[in-house]
Amino acid sequence: MTRTRVIAALVMAPAAIAAILLLPTPWLAALAALVMLGGLWEWLKLAGVDDSLSRTVLVLLNLLLMVLLVWASRSDTGFSPVLFQIATLAGAAGWLLALLWLWRPGFTAQEKPWTRAFKLAAGTLAVIPAWCALCLVHSDNFAQLAATPDLPASGHRWLLAALALVWAADSGAYFAGRHFGRRKLAPTISPNKTVEGAIGGVVAGVAIALAFGALAGAGAAQLPALALVALVAVLASIVGDLVESLLKRQAGVKDSGSLIPGHGGILDRVDGVLAALPVFAIGKDILGF
């Protein structure tokens, strides 16, 4: 399994990096929408929406919401980021509230209409803000979206830093957990996750964020702020991972899908990203790096 996991990562990582660095923001936004909506498709399945037609309609409604956000943000003077910023803030707040869900996971354990509705709403609150945050970071305050796609910007490299810290945290947690894991992090939600693995993920995520942040243009004076934001973003990614684990546990499945060899489904790969991106985007904006 580890060999398959590594091979799959070696195939996916160059493609993702090339897309982030080379594509203009509108094209990357479209590609990211496809990936995240693919993750939402799996989320809806875990939430109990077994009918393919119903899931298709719900995914299309979320796509429509993305389109409406873009349409409503356009003006005669360019592209306003306000709606995207509000959505990003709502997403970060939602992941903070998710801690209550993890604290009391039993209230969504039973198959009832209201628990399904809660999980469906949570899926939208996870995907839409993460997509908005991705657009904000990559566009470097929407410079790439304001009819000047050829402007040089550091947003491409900052988005790579944001995603790389999640990838590094995931890998660090996996290998640290396998070699040093002793104490269970959340045994009733995800028995395989350990405190030692989480610590390894935090160390790896923050280290990679500092390295990639320096490549993105962060000066020495900005590195402490970047480290703080990276720390919170990694912790958020752990929350995202645990929420998906809770969904899978309550659905009685091991993986969200089987699309990616050794990694499971799309949601298995983007669960941490969905939580970390809004936090990173907000921290980057507030602390100004």
d(CA 136, CA 155): 8
Whether residue 136 contacts residue 156, with contact meaning beta carbons closer than 8 Å, is answered with: no
Whether residue 287 contacts residue 229, with contact meaning beta carbons closer than 8 Å, is answered with: yes
Which domain covers residue 126, as residue numbers?
A: 2-287
Contacts of 182 by beta carbon, 8 Å cutoff, 6+ apart:
194, 195, 196
Per-residue pLDDT tens listing for the chain (289 residues): 466 666 767 778 899 999 999 999 999 999 999 999 999 999 999 999 999 999 999 999 999 999 999 999 987 777 889 999 999 999 999 999 999 999 999 888 888 888 999 999 999 999 999 999 999 999 875 544 444 444 446 899 999 999 999 999 999 999 999 989 889 999 999 988 999 999 999 999 999 999 999 999 999 999 999 999 999 999 999 999 999 999 999 999 988 877 766 567 899 999 999 999 999 999 999 998 8
- Count up the domains in the chain and report the number: 1
- DSSP of 107-168: GGSS--HHHHHHHHHHHHHHHHHHHHHHHHHHHTTTTTTSS-TTS--SHHHHHHHHHHHHHH
